[in-house]
Structures are given as C-alpha cells and as structure tokens.
Amino acid sequence: MNIKNEVLIRVYSVLALVVVFAVLIFAQAINIAVRQGDKWRAIGEKSYVQLRPVDAERGNILAADGSMLATSLPFFDIRFDLKADGLTDEVFEAHVDSLAHMLAVHVDQDFTPGGMKFELEKLREEGKRYHLIAKGVSYNKKEFIRQFPIFNRGRYGGGFIAERLPSRKRPYGQLAHRTVGYKKKDKKAKMVGLEGYFDKTLSGKEGKRLMQKVHGDQWIPVHDLSEIEPTTGNDILTTLDINIQDIAHEALLRGLNHHKAEEGVAIVMDVETGHIKAISNLSETQKGWSEQYNNAVGTAIEPGSTFKLAPMMALLEDGLIDLYDKVPIHNGEMEFYEELMKDASKESFTLDSASMKRAFEISSNVGLASQVFKHYRGQDAKGNLRAKRFVKRLQQMNLHTPTGIEIEGEALPFIKDPEKKEDDWSGTTLPWMSIGYELTITPMQLLAFYNAVANDGVYMKPTLVSEIQKFGETIKKFKPTMLENRIASKETIEKAQELLLSVVENGTAHELATSRYRFAGKTGTAQINYRKFDGERKNLKYRSSFVGYFPAEAPKYSCIVVVTNPRQNGFYGGDVAGPVFREIADNVFNLKIDLHQALNSKGKPRMKTKYLPSHNIGYKEDFRKVLAYLELPFDNETNTEMTAAIAEADTIRLKPRKTKDENTIPNVVGMGLRDALYVLENKGLNVSIDGVGKVSRQSISPGSRARGQNIKLTLN
C-alpha cells in the first residue's frame, strides 16, 4: 500500500505541475491577445513580407507592315516612404527644403515650396510609408524625379518608390479600335478583340518581387528589382494594312455623316489568302463616332438582297434555271400564301417577265423568289422535302457556320431547317429566305462567301493574325486556311461572277461603275423593323449594303459595306453603301501599284492612220529626225530637199516636194513659216505674212515665173 500511495502522490504532483503550466500559458496568451494585442499586431504588420506577383510587359499588336497597333509603354506611379530605414531625421531636415522646392516647381504646382515642405513634415510625423507623389509619369520624368534631393538616396536611404503601371497605348486611336481590343474598366471583365483572344500569348509570364505590407492592403517593394524577373509577352503580327484600314475608316465615316446613319461596318479582305486588310465598326454616340461594338463579327443580321446570290447559285447548281431563261416579274408584285411581296425597282413595274439575269441585275424580289418557290417547295418523287435540298446548297456554300475568326463573340449564322420544328418553317419561308429575310448572318460571314466567289469557288477562312513573334523573330506562322470542297461547280461560279459584274455595269449599281477599272458586286436594302409596323412604310428603318470585289478580271480584294438606318440622302444600297465601297476601291486601287497594268505589258501597237501626222510639208531631214525619235515607222520615197509626209495605213511615207526650179514660184502651202521663208527668199521674193500656223494660201500661184516680186502668205 505504501508503494501504491507513493506512486499516486508522484502522479498527482506531475498533474498539478501540468495544470499550473497550462494556466500560466493560457494567462499569457490572454495577455498577449488582449492587453498587448495592438502592439504585437503592429510589429507583425511591420515585419510581414512576402513574394508578390509582378505583371510582365505585354506584347505588341502589329499591323502587317510592323506598325504598332497596340503597345505597352512604361509609365510609373511615384510614391514616397517617409519612414524608410535609412531616412534619418538629420537627412530629412537637411534636404527637405530642396525636395519641397523641386516637387512644387516640377511635380505639383498646387503647392508653394513652403506649403510642400509643411505637407512633407506632416506626412513624416504621421509615419506615411506609401504617399503618392505623382501618378502615371513617363520613364524620362521618373528618372528626373529620382534625382531630386532625398530621392537620389534610393529606396532605403530616401524612400523613393517607382511602381510600373500596366499602360496600353494605341497609336492609331480609333482605327480598328474594337478589333485590336482593350480591357474594360471593370477589372473582372474579359478583354475584347485580339487583346482578349491572344491574351495568353501577349501576357507573358509574371515575375515575383519581395514586398512588405505597410497597412491595410498596401504593399511596398523591399528591393528596387524583382527577385524573379517577369518574361515579356510575345508580339502578334496582324494581317491589317494600316493604309487600307485608314481608307476604309475615313470612307465609312464620310458615308455615315452624309446619310446621318446610326452605325456602319466596312471590311476589306484579301481574296487569295482570306487575310483581313481592314475592319471598321463605327457607331453614333453623344461624343461623336467611335467603335463601340464589333458588329462586323458579333452581330448577325437579315442581309436582304445581298444574300440573293446564294439562292441564285443554288438554282444554277441544281440545273433548275439558266441565266437567260424567262421568269415572271408580274409588274413587281406577287402573293405567297396571302403575303404580298413587292419589288423596289421601278423597272419591275413595267415588266411582266424578264430573263433571270435581268431580274438579278435589277434585284427583282419577285423574279428570284418565284423560282425558288417553284422549284424547292413540296416533295420530290421519293417523298423528300425539296426545301431540304435548298438548305443543303446553302450549307455547301458554308453559310451556316461561323468563320472562326480570331475574335471572341462571333455570332452564329441562322439558316432555317424545314425539318426542325423549333425553326418555325412556314409556307412563306422559302420566298422570303431567297431575298435575305427569315435568316441571319454577320457581315464577315457574308463577305467570306462573296470572297469565295471571287476566288473561283475556293472558300478561305477569314484571318486576322499571320504570325507570333518574339523580339522580331517569328516563332509561329499561321498559314491561310481553305475549305477542302469548293462552294460550287466551276460553271456556277463563272455564272455568278457574270451576274455580279452585270449588276455594276447594267443593274442597280450602274451609276457606281468607273472606266479606270472594273468591279463586281451586289446592292442590298433590307427593312429592319418591318414586323413592328405591319406594312406601314412611314416609320420603317433600313439597312443599306454593298458587297463585291475588285478588279473584276483578277480579283485582289473583296469588300463589304453595311450602313444601318440612313436618315437622309437616300436609303437604297446603291445610293448609301455603294458609294462608300466605290471610295474604298478607288483609293485602294490608287494605293496598290500591283493592281495597275503596266503600260508596256503588251507589245507597242501600230498606230492607225487617223492618229498619225499626215499632209505635213517641210524639210526632209527634220522629218526623219523627229519620226526616228518617236519610233514611228516611215518609208523614205524622196531625194528632194523638201518632203510631204503622207499617212497611209499604219505607216508614214515621205513624198517628194520640188522647190528648186529657179524660174518658177514653188508651192509652199502646208509648210511651216520657217520652211516657207527659206524656200521663197532663196528665190529672191519679198515675203509678207498674215496669221499664225502653217501656210494655208499664197498670193501668187505656184508655177508662176519668179521675178523678185512681193508675195503674201496667209497662215492658219
């Protein structure tokens, strides 16, 4: 029992000691947390340091020629740590006057030097460690401020802090602004345009910097340099041609102002590669015109008559009609299931029928819709829906899929499917689809289709970026992408090209034609709120468009222009969008020398008689010298001093003109004054003249005896 008690006593003793220590530890914890909490929290905050991320310098976005469309420039916030470890009272007091003077004169003119000194002394007394001195200064100004008294002692000795800001600049302003992209003010919002699509490529890799928490969520760098240097982002080389971009932007802007429109789109594409050379989106705002949204890519619309080429090609591809087949026009009106369709062309009102080609030239709704309705409604002999065949032709032309261009937010095209209940297919769908309604497509998607027609049926994916570069070296190249299958047969494409050319030369766009080069295209005028007003035209809004390519014989560029709600000076596509297209085409044609045929590309033609100098009389050697210099062919058939040049066919023949018979007066009619004086004065005649030019009459008839008499020459 004694041994047992002794063990228990020892156990209880140890337990008592553990309890006492636990109580003491708990009491000390309470003391630290409650009574000394503020003190230790302040110490903890002061000594709290960690590696914090440092943004990398963002890569550049370049135009095709290397011009900067978006670049990161070094701007800095300058801050002052007034409690820096090396900034002693002696240093501060010795130099604060000079620092205050420099800041008041060069940085913040709201303060006098005395006022600035008072402000700095107050901030030091308050222990400010992150005071903002200047915001968003350039690199040169940052270096200038770094040399100020106190600041020239650096981060530790003078409390100078320069924080680099992520600053993105676009040197060309509104040119392709929405396509190049930017980040919205909301930090959580995604970046738009190329900035957003290629964000990972452009961003680079962030670095790390040891930073100290001073108070709240404010951190100041412990060292001037990053412990882990950030990696600069890569550059992207776009396909945009800055000169064509400027042409498209200015032409669209003028068109929108002239017609007082709400917004507009203009796109220029390289036919062979699919490279986008220009893309402009302008919207009306209270502050003027700006790129608010990329309607070229992000907005699907009912295109109206510019879509007519697709159903026309479907009819041709299926062999259901040819260009010169007669089709009904019905004087511009036709009913489909009690829905009345009307033409806009005045010519339609006088036509009961016309060739399919002429119907397309004048953009007859009735002419095309009647044929689509006739050939694609109902079922075939096997019970298959003919409308399904029509839709498959549109799908063959790639009109049902997005282009996949390198911009987020591309709208999906909508082509109704007769077998899908949710698509709300009705009896009027076929005729209205044939003229560009009851379906939607973006301007970019429609342009890609027309570009394929210009490219002999080869569909090229629209592309905005050609390379990724690192310090000027190509690290990745994007090749032009084409669809494997042609959008239509060679025969159909050739007929489609013929139709588009005839629209410009004989149809709704004939006033846009120019003698300098040929272009092809289609006008479009779509009603954009026709459902709202149920047939009342007075409040209707319109969308005017033109899409085509140039030069017609060897297409280099395709282009689409869409203008929404023009409110003055017309609303038809040929009057509103067509002139903008023509201005773009004219200026691009002037700009690009490769679009011009060289003057010496063909052999020099032999000139016709009417263009050759003829019946000129004068000194033979002068004629020979001039004709040889001009490289004009001639036959010398004379050994006389004077000659008559006679044009025959495509050659000049030098005929003899006798003037050396000393006894008679020569014939000088047709000679210039110099040659006539030479001949007559050598005969001893006294010559007077009247008029200018060549000799048209002489007062003494040729062949008369020469006796030194007076002779008068009339020149004309």
Mean pLDDT value of segment 187-215: 76
Domain segments of the chain as ranges? 46-73+167-211+222-236, 78-166, 245-595, 609-715
Q: Which residue has the higher pLDDT, 360 or 85?
A: 360
Neighbours of 64 (CB within 10 A): 20
Q: Which residue has the higher pLDDT, 655 or 398?
A: 398
DSSP secondary structure string, 675-692? HHHHHHHTTT-EEEEEES
Asked whether 343 and 352 are in contact (CB, 8 A), the reply is no
pLDDT at 494: 97
Q: Which of the four pLDDT bands, split at 50, 70 and 90, describes residue 605?
A: low
> Per-residue pLDDT tens for 336-370?
998 999 998 889 999 999 999 999 999 999 999 99
Say how far apart CA 237 and CA 197 lie, in whole Å.
14
Q: Which residue has the higher pLDDT, 226 or 545?
A: 545
Q: Which of the four pLDDT bands, split at 50, 70 and 90, describes residue 230?
A: low
Q: CA triplet 445, 266, 467: central angle to 5 degrees?
A: 70
What are the tokens at 587?
């200026």
Is the pLDDT reported for residue 456 higher than 80? yes
Q: Which of the four pLDDT bands, split at 50, 70 and 90, describes residue 597?
A: confident
Q: Which of the four pLDDT bands, split at 50, 70 and 90, describes residue 596?
A: confident
**Range in 49-53, 93-97, 254-258 the model is least confident about:** 49-53
pTM for the model: 0.73
Buried b (16+ CB within 10 A) or exposed e, 509-548: beebeeeebebbbbbbbbbeebeeeeeeeeeebbbbbbbb
Mean pLDDT value of segment 143-151: 92
DSSP secondary structure string, 46-97? HT-EEEEEEPPPPPPEE-TTS-EEEEE--EEEEEE-TT-TT--HHHHHHHHH
Is the pLDDT reported for residue 531 higher than 70? no
Coil, strand or helix at 141: helix
Q: Which residues, 6 or more positions from 548, have their beta carbon under 8 angstroms from its beta carbon?
A: 450, 500, 504, 519, 520, 521, 522, 558, 559, 581
Is the pLDDT reported for residue 561 higher than 60? yes
Secondary structure element (H or E) that encloses residue 200, with its range: helix 199-203
> Per-residue pLDDT tens for 312-334?
999 999 999 999 999 999 999 99
- Proportion of the chain above pLDDT 90, given as a percent: 51
Tally: H helices and E strands in the chain: 22, 29
pLDDT at 39: 64
Q: Which residues, 6 or more positions from 228, have their beta carbon under 8 angstroms from its beta carbon?
A: 51, 54, 207, 208, 209
CATH architecture of 46-73+167-211+222-236: Alpha-Beta Complex (3.90)
Query: Hey, do 46-73+167-211+222-236 and 245-595 end up sharing a CATH topology, with the first three levels equal?
Result: no
Asked whether 300 and 266 are in contact (CB, 8 A), the reply is no
| List of long-range contacts for 378-381, beta carbons under 8 Å, 24+ apart | none
Q: Which CATH number fits domain 245-595: 3.40.50.720, 3.40.710.10, 3.40.50.970, 3.40.630.30?
A: 3.40.710.10
Secondary structure element (H or E) that encloses residue 657, with its range: strand 651-657
> Per-residue pLDDT tens for 282-296?
999 888 899 889 999
Looking at residue 660, the DSSP 8-state letter turns out to be -
Tell me the C-alpha to C-alpha distance, in Å, between residue 145 and each of 66, 83, 129, 332: 34, 19, 18, 77
> Per-residue pLDDT tens for 539-560?
689 999 999 999 999 999 999 9
